[in-house]
Amino acid sequence: MNLVKSTGTFGLFTIISRLLGYLRDILIAIFLGSGLLADVFLVAFRIPNTFRRLFSEGTFNAAFVPSYASEIIKGKKQSNKFANNIFNLLFLGLFFLVLIVQIFMPSFVSIIAPGFVDDVNKMEIAINLTRITFPFLFFISLASFFSAILNSHNKFAAASAAPIILNVILIGILFFSKSLGDELVYYLSYGVSLAGILQLLFLYKFVRKFYFLKFNFKLRIDNKVKIFFKKLLPSIFSSGVTQINILVGTIIASFQASAVSYLYYADRIYQINLAIAGIAIGVVVLPQLSKHIQSKKKDKVLLIQNKALELSLFLSIPASIALLLGSESIISALFGYGSFSEAAAQNSAKALYYFALGLPAFSLIKIFSTFFFANNNTKTPFYISLASVILNIIISIYYFNEIGFIIIPIATTISSWFNGLLLFGFLKNRNLFTFNKVFIVRFIKIIIASFLMGVFFNFLLNYFQNQLAFDEDLKLIFLILSVVLGLLFYLFVSYWIKAFKISDIKLKY
């Protein structure tokens, strides 16, 4: 496996998906803005989409890949038997979960968006929309099962390309928004569930080469299956802690008008970098890392761990600096059109600023958790993540009345750094990770290159400040120009001071 190339493949399709997601969100911002319908749809969309992130962005992999990898060694028959047992249990569990939530949807929405309860109209629409979108959870979770099998065989392209389907469908619906009027949110909701079905069928086409699906609802719960499900719930919580913190924030934000929308748009920006700097790297290294740990190849394990951490920081640190410096210009240029007001842009920019402070931590959580998962340890990250979520809730609730929605990204960032540092401490304490000499030198060079990029990017923002003003129609062009120039400058400096080497692309792990 080549870490950089595999991450590049996964990252390429992920970037395409995220860019299409941005186009989707800018259309939502234009046609829905940050008002009642936007808040209601984004809550209905956030719930299944959060579960999608929890299951598909490496979390299901964390429990499945190490167990499945050990079965692959024994032969296709054994691995297929194990996978089918998991699939059938997953199918039944998800089916009854979705059914129960549909029956008790009013209570479910009251829990997820308690701030909507006093507004009867808002609550009724939220319940209707969530009923439509919630089946997406069933289909996307099964699709994530297929993705995990593909990833176990070091096939990353199809799994990372599948989310593109969701964005293409929603963008297609949004192009008809003028003729749909207020019914737009219902069509978008149906589009979400349709996308789940299509993603499942799309991935099954690719997975058939490695796995033969066999429905058998005579439950076979052997020790291997028990061990898997014991690992699954902790891995969902620990690997998806950032998404859980954001979901918690959405619940609390529902008490303030438009706050859900502000947080959603800010969240969309930094998620583009997190998708590569944390999620892609974690997904790519897990299969190979698990195999090397089982084979007790300590040198290979150490090399992959350090290279994964180095690549994550190489991507997340400069992105964090750029978002801190340009949060207002970025939100304004990306979403400041149509129904999206200047006040909404300023509030979303504040949220983005504080999320940006936590971006390296969000990525580190994904990487450090993967190191635990590769060692078949999901309990330690789970307990640390649980403490992180509790800390996030305490900070958010205690200061919400005083500060408002902005406490949510602040609390998310604080709790995420707490999480990341604790994960690192436990890894070091249990001798599951150590720095090599190459990493220390590269890290210093990454900091230098990121600082210089920040100086240059700040210059560009000041130079184009008139063109980046909220009322300017061409502000997006000047933002893209600034970002591209900043990126090229960073890559040039990194190459010049050898924070990055071309040979890394060719290196096998």
Calculate the alpha carbon distances from 439 to 10, 158, 309, 404 in Å.
23, 31, 8, 41
Residue 135 reports pLDDT greater than 70: yes
Contact 11, 155 (CB under 8 A): no
Q: What is the mean pLDDT of residues 332-348?
A: 84
| pLDDT of 239 above 70 | no
List pLDDT tens digits, range 379-412.
Answer: 888 889 889 989 989 998 899 888 888 999 999 9
Closest CA to 61 of 143, 5, 134, 138: 143
* Range with lowest mean pLDDT among 11-15, 30-34, 149-153, 338-342: 30-34
pLDDT tens, residue by residue, 427-471: 999 988 888 888 889 999 999 999 999 999 999 999 999 999 988
pLDDT classification of 503: cutoffs 50, 70, 90: low
More confident residue, 144 or 197: 197
Q: Does pLDDT of 291 surpass 90? A: no
Q: Residue 237: which pLDDT band, with cuts at 50, 70 and 90? A: low
- Collapsing DSSP to helix, strand or coil, 117 comes out as coil
pLDDT at 355: 92
Q: Kindly state the percentage of the chain with pLDDT values over 70.
A: 86
Of the candidates 155, 166, 143, the residue with the CA atom closest to the CA atom of residue 17: 166
For 80, the domain range is 3-506
Q: Say if residue 508's pLDDT is above 80.
A: no
Write the CB contacts of 177 (distance below 8 Å, at least 6 apart in sequence). 27, 31, 184
What pTM was estimated for this model as a whole?
Answer: 0.76
For the cut 80, the answer to whether the pLDDT of residue 29 exceeds it is: no
Q: Rounded to whole angstroms, what are the CA distances from 188 to 27, 41, 182, 432?
A: 12, 8, 11, 45
Interacting residues of 466 by C-beta distance below 8 A, sequence separation 6+: 472
Question: Which positions ≥6 away from 54 have C-beta within 8 Å?
Answer: 236, 239, 240, 243, 244
Q: What is the mean pLDDT of residues 26-35?
A: 71
Per-residue 3-state assignment (H helix, E strand, C coil) for 226-259: HHHHHHHHHHHHHHCHHHHHHHHHHHHHCCCCCH
N- to C-terminal Cα separation, the chain: 5
Q: Spell out where 107-234 has E strands.
A: none
Q: Estimate to the nearest angstrom the gap between the alpha carbon of 185 and the chain centroid.
A: 23
**E strand or H helix that includes residue 440:** helix 437-463
Query: Is it the case that residue 509 has pLDDT exceeding 60?
Result: no
Q: Which of 18-22, 126-130, 199-203, 379-383 has the lowest mean pLDDT?
A: 18-22
pLDDT digits (tens, 9 = 90+) for 404-429: 889 999 999 999 999 999 999 999 99
- Give 354's pLDDT tier (boundaries 50, 70, 90): very high
Q: Which residue would you say has higher pLDDT here, 488 or 230?
A: 488
Name the E strands within 28-182: none
Q: Look at residue 225 and tell me whether its pLDDT is greater than 80.
A: no
Give the CA diameter of the chain.
Answer: 67
Decide: 315 and 273 in contact? Cβ < 8 Å: yes
Whether 204 shows a pLDDT value over 80: the answer reads yes
DSSP class per residue in 153-209: TT--HHHHHTTHHHHHHHHHHHTTHHHHGGGHHHHHHHHHHHHHHHHHHHHHHHHTT
pLDDT of residue 309: 86
Per-residue pLDDT reduced to its tens digit, 298-326: 888 888 888 888 888 998 999 999 999 99
State yes or no: pLDDT of 481 exceeds 90: yes
For residue 262, CA distances in Å to 34, 96, 301 come to 7, 34, 41
Give the span between the Cα atoms of 116 and 122, in whole angstroms: 6
Which of 109-113, 128-132, 455-459 is least confident? Answer: 109-113
What does pLDDT average to over the chain? 82
The whole-number pLDDT of residue 299 equals 81
* Number of folded domains that form the chain: 1
pLDDT at 7: 63
Provide the token pair at 26. 């800018």
Lowest mean pLDDT among 53-62, 126-135, 196-205, 292-301: 53-62
Residues near 169 by beta carbon (within 8 Å), at least 6 away in sequence? 191, 194, 195, 198
Residue with tokens 């969000």: 362
Helices and strands in the chain, H and E counts: 22, 0
Share of the chain above pLDDT 90, in %: 26
How many Å separate Cα 220 from the centre of its chain?
A: 33
145-159, 201-215, 353-367: range with lowest mean pLDDT = 145-159
pLDDT at position 266 is 85
What confidence tens digit (pLDDT) does each residue in 250-287 have? 777 777 767 777 887 888 787 776 766 566 676 677 67
